[in-house]
Amino acid sequence: MRGMGVSPLGRYSTPYPLWDGTGRALVVFTPSQPVQTTNAVGQPVTVEGTPRYGIYMLDLNARTLRPVVLPQDGYYYSDPVAIQARPTPQVKSNFTPDPTIGAGLGLFDVNTVYDTDNLQRMGDAVLASGESIPRAGGVPDIANLLLVQLVETRSCPPRQFATAALNLLRLAEITNRAGWREKADRIFAVSRRTLQEWPEAVPLLAAALDFSLTKPKQIIIAGVHNSPDTRALLRPVYERFLPAKVLLLVDCDQTRKRLTQWLPFILGMTAIEGKATAYICENYTCKLPTSDPQQVVRLLEGKP
């Protein structure tokens, strides 16, 4: 999992579905634990720190994540199991082995362990009458799940509040969903006293609040990933201190299609005449597109 990069919100492990029809499952979850360090050549990088796994009740219908056993330093919870009274489940029997397998030999298929539903040996096949288990038909609102843990347990340090708030605000800008901005506001609400009396103690949270009070720039670059003309347009963005910004790279039709689900206007943001093109926007109102890095500089600095 670490090879996939730092998780912005947290990681799940070993779900244990309840079969009572409520659409719930016990899960192991750790909030994101980003750590600043340096790589082999001395450059600053962010990596995942030591996880703090706890046990939570995941409700797929209500899209909530509520603590059952909070994380404790020095402890790792791996496999939650619910002890419930239930009728005797069905048992799959009368399995007929493959007749082509010779005597004394066996056949092991990874699917028999990791994809048992395809073999119809788990899931509904082993439930008693009237039972049901959660279905993965929808994606839980992870931002909301993390917020429940932050606000209701108040068990995370201020840095976790700040990271969650910044991620929620950026997601709100990317998707134009007011609900995520409201969740960030709830974090600021529960942290109001800290922000008012000791802002110097929570600089990242103060930066997140500043982000929420400004009008972030939406910067969309349409171009081939890592090509010279795309890098030339990205360079002035990275060279300037622009804390209130959301930067998106539309490097292929698949990316454009995904982003268009939330921001329909991105559908028309393409590389003009085959050259990487920058679209500098504020409040989803964009300046004229440009392929000139110097014009990008002027637009970022608010010049005509």
Pairing mode, if any, of strands 44-48 and 24-31? unpaired
The whole-angstrom distance between residue 301's C-alpha and the CA centroid of its chain comes to 31
Q: Rounded distance, CA 131 to CA 19, Å?
A: 6
Residue 296 and residue 258 in one domain:
yes
Residue 295 and residue 198 in one domain:
no
Residue 8 and residue 65 in one domain:
yes
Q: What pTM does this model have?
A: 0.49
Residue 203 and residue 221 in one domain:
no
Q: Is 100 part of a structural domain of the chain?
A: no
Enclosing domain of residue 192 = 157-213
From first to last of the 304 residues of the chain, give the pLDDT tens digit.
344 467 767 788 888 888 777 888 888 888 777 888 887 777 888 888 888 888 988 888 777 788 888 888 778 888 888 887 777 766 656 556 556 555 555 554 444 444 444 445 556 666 777 777 766 554 445 555 555 555 444 444 456 678 888 888 988 888 878 888 888 888 888 777 777 877 777 788 888 899 999 888 889 999 998 899 999 999 999 998 888 888 999 998 888 888 888 888 888 899 999 999 999 988 878 889 999 999 999 999 887 6
Q: Is 148 part of a structural domain of the chain?
A: no
Residue 199 and residue 224 in one domain:
no
Q: What would the pLDDT profile of 94-127 be if each residue is shown by its tens digit?
A: 556 556 555 555 554 444 444 444 445 556 666 7
Q: Is 149 part of a structural domain of the chain?
A: no
Instruction: Identify the CATH number of the domain in which residue 245 sits.
Output: 3.40.30
- Structure tokens, 285: 């109102």
| Domain stops at, among 194, 213, 232 | 213
Residue 275 and residue 224 in one domain:
yes
Residue 10 and residue 134 in one domain:
yes
Residue 46 and residue 115 in one domain:
yes
- Structure tokens, 229: 């003309």
Pairing mode, if any, of strands 44-48 and 34-38? antiparallel
Q: What would the pLDDT profile of 198-252 be if each residue is shown by its tens digit?
A: 777 778 888 889 999 988 888 999 999 889 999 999 999 999 888 888 899 999 8
Residue 126 and residue 15 in one domain:
yes
Residue 1 and residue 134 in one domain:
yes
Distances (CA, A) of 261 to 140, 189, 268: 17, 30, 13
Q: Is 147 part of a structural domain of the chain?
A: no
Residue 57 and residue 126 in one domain:
yes
pLDDT at residue 244, as a whole number: 86
pLDDT at residue 195, as a whole number: 79
Report the number of distinct structural domains present in the chain. Answer: 3
Residue 167 and residue 221 in one domain:
no
